[in-house]
Structure 1
Amino acid sequence: MKICSVMKGLYCRAVSDAEPKFVIQEMTLPDVLTSHQVRVQVKACGLSPLDFKLLRDVGMQRDLIPVGREVAGVVLQVGPKVTFFQPEDEVVGILPLDSSFSGLCEVIDTDEYYLVQKPEKLSSVCVAGALRDGLCAYSALHTHARMAAGHTLLVTDGASSFGLMCIQLACYHGAKVLTTSHSPQNHTFLEQLRPSVGVQDPLVARVIPVYNSSSDLLSVVMEETGGLGVDIVVDSGVHLHEEEEEVESEEKKLLPHKHDIISVLGVGGHWVTSHQDLQLDPPDCRLLYLKSASVSFLNPEVWTASSSQQGRYLHILKDIVEKMSSGLLRPQPEEAVPLYEATVAMETVQRHPKKKAVVQL
């Protein structure tokens, strides 16, 4: 079967020193699939902010950058050497950085190695909106921090979509979880979190409010850990300097200071940071050295940017969708937006990286 048609997708035209512009462009499907390619009819696509600095660093500067990479859909056609899938299989995956297709095209071509089977009971909208956060949580806790049962974990901003995935995954593996809340509503939400199956104890051992003028993060963590500190800290950004507070937004003012993070780490602890430009001064390094603690940088793009651990990456994706299907991982529900609102939704996501958006095709 040959399919040759023109598709419309969302792309970003990046202009230096100017706001990125999102435009609808036409994309032509090739007549024939290559050896390991799969043709997929997209049912839902998750939108995440574009990291222009990362794209420049890895040499992927293009006039038009495809938008929307977390996709869920149905296989229409497979290449001659494809072994993982058959037509009509439901699949989900994350398109690679160098993909020429926007996930908002009705039909896309991609290698079979970027996709996994989607469980039948898991909705396309749910998995497309949460797959990236699930991958980040797995990378932070398993790949970087080597989490094990009995560990104590601090997750900053636990009510965020990424933080919620970290909390649920850590509790499933028997870790004690502490988290911070950025508003009274988030505080109540986190205190009421319960597992979907098993014993109905709270998922979070202690919720620490940081939306007040003064934060008791260090004292509360030390109280909860008997003065030993936590084994793992996973942040969603940090403050580097005290004077930053005067110029930054209210949202960023709620981020912990790097010294607070280092102070709450226990001996041999792991700090997994999402802060790309983290700067550690000699006193910070000295404190980490005294604790024999480590710092890891969470870059979710590294899995698709390098093929050295492709099998492990696919195993992680498969485990995420299976746990979501069984209810062990319950992402925050996202209301899907129609395709004609995709441009506005992407502009919002690009300005506010913590906001999520899912487009239903």
Structure 2
Amino acid sequence: MKAIQMREPGGPEVLTLVDLPAPEIRSATDVLVRLEAAGVNPVDTKIRARGTLVPETLTAVLGCDGAGVVEAVGEGVTRFQPGDAVWFCHGGLGGPHGNYAEYIVVDERIAQPKPASLDFVQAAAAPLVLITAWEALYDRAALHAGQRVLIHAGAGGVGHVAIQLACLAGARVATTVSSAEKARFVQDLGADYTINYREESLRDGLADWTEGRGVDVAFDTVGPAVFRETIPLMAVYGDLVTILDPGHDLDLKEARNRNLRISLELMLTPQLGGLTEALDHQGKILRRCGELFDAGKLRIQVAESFPLEQAAAAHRRLEAGGAVGKYVLRIG
């Protein structure tokens, strides 16, 4: 099969189109998927640059998100049959099992029926960011109706689905953007208040929007500097969730004074740890999101798609920043 492989850490140029043996069904609950598309995520670029997350592996086929058609099933599979369209988040952390390839094998509990309203490119763009945003807002912060939430980088992959999930929960949403175009985009998704961080004061804007109280929930998708900047913007007893390492030199005095609950979100933990119950929970998240897509209550934005052989170009575009939505590789 055709696949994009990295043999050592480095820049986008280490991503090489190769021929690899197609994976085989080895377990009774395995599902062989012929991939039509694969999502491209920041974690892919980090693994490519720094090395795999799976110990003792140097080479890797990257790609955590996949969407495609079931080609064959193990003898114990009950949920799928050949010809079924599926989507999932699995693989891509090290070794040959990633989605930048023509085929992948996943356990049937990992794969979920693809929403009928999404094509394969859209479906491949969605799983990782959906699960990340869902776990951050609903599982970590317990977001509920009437709260005010700040979502950083609202036009990004995670941010633009987080806005929609927050709105579905009945929260009021403020978000940061870097342009008027992105402001229009997030407002169309349901954001109540946008702040162009290049031109406006985030502190002053949120003080006005919350009448000095601060936001009940904040979701950091950017990194340490933004995480630190967000602490004094929080309401007392608020929830601050980040998907990144907040840094080693963090002063939490203000967070303690505000009695904040700080949560770390890494949706890859169940896969890294082989946590069956957590993987099942993530499957339920995808099934629920599929229902929301098909009901017209959720949408995914694809910034651009690339053919598989242009994976390096997709990585360069992602690392350049400024994307509205997600990048995707077309395989089928």
Q: Normalization by structure 1: what TM-score?
A: 0.81
Q: Relative to 1, partners in 2 of residues 1:99 and 1:312: Cα closer, same or farther, differing over 3 Å?
A: farther
2:11 is equivalent to residue 26 of structure 1: no
Q: Distance in 2 between matches of 1:309 and 1:339?
A: 31
Q: Relative to 1, partners in 2 of residues 1:189 and 1:76: Cα closer, same or farther, differing over 3 Å?
A: closer
Q: Relative to 1, partners in 2 of residues 1:99 and 1:139: Cα closer, same or farther, differing over 3 Å?
A: farther
Deviation at 1:167, TM superposition (A): 0.8
Deviation track 1:135-172 (CA, whole Å, cap 9, x = no partner) reads 21112101211111111100112122221111111011
Stretches of 4+ aligned residues off by more than 4 angstroms: 53-59
Whichever residue aligns with residue 9 of structure 1, its letter is: A
Q: Normalization by structure 2: what TM-score?
A: 0.88
Percent identity over the alignment? 26
2:115 is equivalent to residue 119 of structure 1: yes
Q: Relative to 1, partners in 2 of residues 1:55 and 1:211: Cα closer, same or farther, differing over 3 Å?
A: closer
Q: Distance in 1 between matches of 2:321 and 2:245?
A: 14
Specify which of 185, 197, 204 is matched with residue 219 of structure 1. Answer: 204
Whichever residue aligns with residue 8 of structure 1, its letter is: K
Whichever residue aligns with residue 256 of structure 2, its letter is: Y
Report SS of the residue matched to 2:198: coil
Question: Based on CA coordinates, which of the two structures has the bigger radius of gyration?
Answer: 1
Report SS of the residue matched to 2:267: coil
**Corresponding residue of 2:300:** 331
Q: Relative to 1, partners in 2 of residues 1:149 and 1:31: Cα closer, same or farther, differing over 3 Å?
A: closer
Report SS of the residue matched to 1:186: helix
Deviation track 1:107-153 (CA, whole Å, cap 9, x = no partner) reads 22222222111122321111111222112111210121111111110
Deviation track 1:225-244 (CA, whole Å, cap 9, x = no partner) reads 2221111111122454xxxx
Q: Distance in 2 between matches of 1:327 and 1:231?
A: 28
Q: Distance in 2 between matches of 1:156 and 1:32?
A: 41
Q: Distance in 2 between matches of 1:95 and 1:275?
A: 20
Query: Where do 5+ consecutive residues of structure 2 fail to align?
Result: none
Tell me the matched-pair count. 324
Query: Where do 5+ consecutive residues of structure 1 fail to align?
Result: 1-6, 195-202, 241-255
Q: Relative to 1, partners in 2 of residues 1:279 and 1:121: Cα closer, same or farther, differing over 3 Å?
A: same
Q: Distance in 2 between matches of 1:177 and 1:31?
A: 46
Whichever residue aligns with residue 127 of structure 2, its letter is: L
Whichever residue aligns with residue 69 of structure 2, its letter is: V
**Does the Cα contact within 8 Å between 2:12 and 2:48 map onto a contact in 1?**
no
Aligned counterparts, 1:258-277, within 5 A:
258=228, 260-277=229-246
2:329 is equivalent to residue 359 of structure 1: yes
2:157 is equivalent to residue 161 of structure 1: yes
**Corresponding residue of 1:340:** 309
Q: Distance in 1 between matches of 2:3 and 2:52?
A: 25
Specify which of 20, 29, 32 is matched with residue 36 of structure 1. Answer: 29
Q: Distance in 2 between matches of 1:58 and 1:337?
A: 25
2:43 is equivalent to residue 74 of structure 1: no
